[in-house]
């Protein structure tokens, strides 16, 4: 193994212990291919599936795989009106499996996310029977404060460009503490534990994916 591969494997082992102490399930997949295979292992026949907006899920091939699958998939992008969005979210929040990523992970095993509309963190917190988080180990930060800083300085500016938002971070490549109507920093959520053991399953990936 390369030094980076060895480092990520060692880091993953430490994180898994800390995550399990928080009632999370956790595992390590060195590659995107293995991460996709592991993600699919949480799906059962006839289950309903949904997912939050995530480049990580796209990069491991999960979104395209679900689109061509026989599962009942609730895709929020399919809603055309506000009424349809509301109706669809009712189905998403009660789906059997919800896939998402994490914007950052602390060295203590906590999940840290920043969300604009809040739909992604809402489903992480409550609703779907099973939540599967796919996140690469380059998102690991020393603590919550550092994690929030990383998200605002690295992830949000790139997401602003990807989503063609008018927030200052998209053009400045750094957070401007904006209150822009399109701001992504509406909800800053730290998930430090799960009351339901194993409801949140975390797939740590050794290849860098997402922002």
124 in a structural domain: yes
Within-domain flag for 58:
yes
Question: What pTM does this model have?
Answer: 0.95
Residue 165 in domain: no
pLDDT value of position 78: 85
The answer as to whether 181 is a domain residue is no
9 in any annotated domain: yes
- On whether the CB atoms of residues 120 and 100 are closer than 8 A, the answer is yes
Is residue 151 included in any domain, yes or no?
no
Q: What is the average pLDDT value for the chain, to the nearest integer? A: 95
How sure is the predictor about 195, in pLDDT bands with cuts at 50, 70 and 90?
very high
- What percent helix, strand, coil does the chain show, rounded to 5? 40, 20, 40
Domain annotation covers residue 150? no
Q: Express each pLDDT in 16-43 by its tens digit.
A: 999 999 999 999 999 999 999 999 999 9
Judged against a pLDDT cut of 90, whether residue 1 lies above it is answered with no
**Contact predicate 199/123, CB 8 Å:** no
CA–CA separation, 201 and 72 (whole Å): 20
| Residue 106 to residue 137: CA distance in whole angstroms | 10
Residue 144 is assigned to a structural domain of this protein: no
The residue to which tokens 């797939």 are assigned: 203
CATH at residue 78 = 3.40.50
Whether 73 has a pLDDT exceeding 90, the answer reads yes
Domain with 66 in it: 3-103+112-137+188-205
pLDDT digits (tens, 9 = 90+) for 95-150: 999 999 999 999 999 999 999 989 999 999 999 999 999 999 999 999 999 999 99
Looking at the structure of the chain, the number of domains it has is 1
Q: How many CB atoms sit inside 10 A of residue 99's CB?
A: 28
């Amino acid at each position: 193994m390369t030094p980076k591969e060895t480092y990520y494997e060692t880091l993953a082992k430490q994180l898994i212990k800390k995550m399990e102490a928080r009632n999370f399930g956790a595992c390590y997949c060195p590659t995107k291919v293995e991460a996709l295979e592991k993600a699919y292992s949480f799906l059962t026949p006839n289950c309903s599936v949904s997912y939050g907006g995530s480049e990580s899920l796209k990069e491991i091939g999960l979104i395209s795989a679900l689109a061509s699958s026989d599962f009942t998939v609730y895709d929020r992008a399919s809603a055309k009106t506000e009424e349809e969005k509301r109706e669809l979210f009712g189905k998403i929040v009660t789906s059997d499996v919800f896939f998402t990523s994490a914007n950052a992970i602390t060295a203590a095993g906590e999940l840290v996310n920043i969300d604009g509309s809040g739909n992604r963190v809402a489903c992480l917190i409550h609703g779907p029977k099973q939540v599967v988080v796919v996140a690469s180990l380059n998102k690991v930060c020393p603590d919550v404060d550092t994690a929030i800083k990383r998200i605002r300085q690295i992830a949000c500016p790139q997401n602003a460009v990807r989503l063609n938002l008018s927030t200052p971070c998209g053009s400045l490549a750094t957070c401007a503490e904006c209150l822009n109507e399109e701001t992504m920093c509406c909800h800053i959520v730290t998930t430090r534990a799960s009351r339901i053991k194993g409801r949140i399953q975390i797939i740590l990936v050794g290849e860098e994916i997402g922002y």
